[in-house]
């Protein structure tokens, strides 16, 4: 595909990351097609991450570029990567199988701390992980602090505003942000549920 050997590609990864770090840049290494690559050749997929990490990448971001990895398998692979690599791991999921949000949440539960996506899930083909849904789930269901309770209460209106600007539909109902809003309000007033 690239017309180079696997070894040459690992060298390119390493050289590129080193070059960027030498010029004072933050490097988020997006391992495109990582999960498909891991399925075909796990040793090489891990070598590519190792090359980026050893060269100083700030984030190793695992990409489900084709959006076809099932959630259970994605969580297993992320857990295996987490065992092998310290530092910041990221996730970038496409939504071709309508699993981008579920896969993103599973990756966070398996040790990822850097999340990529798009508000309302907009993106190429079938889109990416919907950050509005991811944020609401992380905050309301998993107890993570994301954007803070004040901003969480306006998540639905921001999603609708972005949809209006983009002239695209806001297809996903953001019921969780409303639930999180109620939860936050109840906590702040110490009222029983």
Tell me: the pLDDT tens digits for 78-92?
999 999 999 999 999
Tell me, what's the pLDDT at 172? 56
d(CA 169, CA 73): 31
Q: How far apart are CA 44 and CA 83, in angstroms?
A: 17
Using N-to-C axis directions, what is the helix angle for 100-109 and 71-84, rounded to 10°?
30
Residues 6+ apart with CB under 8 A from 107: 62, 74, 75, 78, 91, 93, 115
93 pLDDT more than 60: yes
With 90 as the cut, is the pLDDT of residue 111 above it? yes
pTM, 2 dp: 0.85
- Averaged pLDDT for residues 132-160: 89
Instruction: Compute the average pLDDT of residues 149-154.
Output: 85
Q: Hey, what are 183's tokens?
A: 């939860």
Average per-residue pLDDT for the chain: 88
Distance between CA 90 and CA 82 in Å, rounded? 10
Nearest alpha-carbon partner for 77 in 64, 59, 65, 88: 64
How far is 171 from 82, CA to CA, in rounded Å? 33
């Amino acid at each position: 595909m690239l017309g180079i050997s696997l070894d040459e590609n690992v060298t390119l990864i390493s050289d590129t990351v080193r070059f960027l770090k030498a010029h004072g840049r933050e490097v988020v290494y997006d391992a495109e097609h990582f999960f498909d690559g891991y399925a075909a050749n796990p040793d090489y997929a891990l070598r590519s991450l190792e090359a980026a990490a050893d060269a100083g990448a700030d984030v190793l971001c695992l990409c489900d570029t084709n959006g076809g990895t099932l959630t259970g398998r994605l969580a297993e692979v992320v857990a295996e990567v987490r065992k092998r690599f310290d530092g910041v791991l990221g996730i970038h999921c496409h939504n071709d199988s309508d699993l981008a949000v579920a896969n993103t949440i599973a990756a966070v539960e398996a040790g990822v701390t850097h999340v990529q996506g798009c508000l309302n899930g907009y993106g190429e083909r079938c889109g990416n992980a919907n950050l509005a849904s991811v944020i609401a789930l992380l905050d309301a269901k998993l107890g993570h602090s994301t954007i803070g309770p004040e901003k969480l209460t306006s998540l639905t209106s921001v999603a609708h505003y972005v949809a209006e600007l983009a002239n695209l539909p806001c297809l996903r109902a953001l019921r969780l942000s409303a639930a999180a809003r109620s939860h936050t309000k109840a906590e702040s007033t110490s009222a029983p549920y």
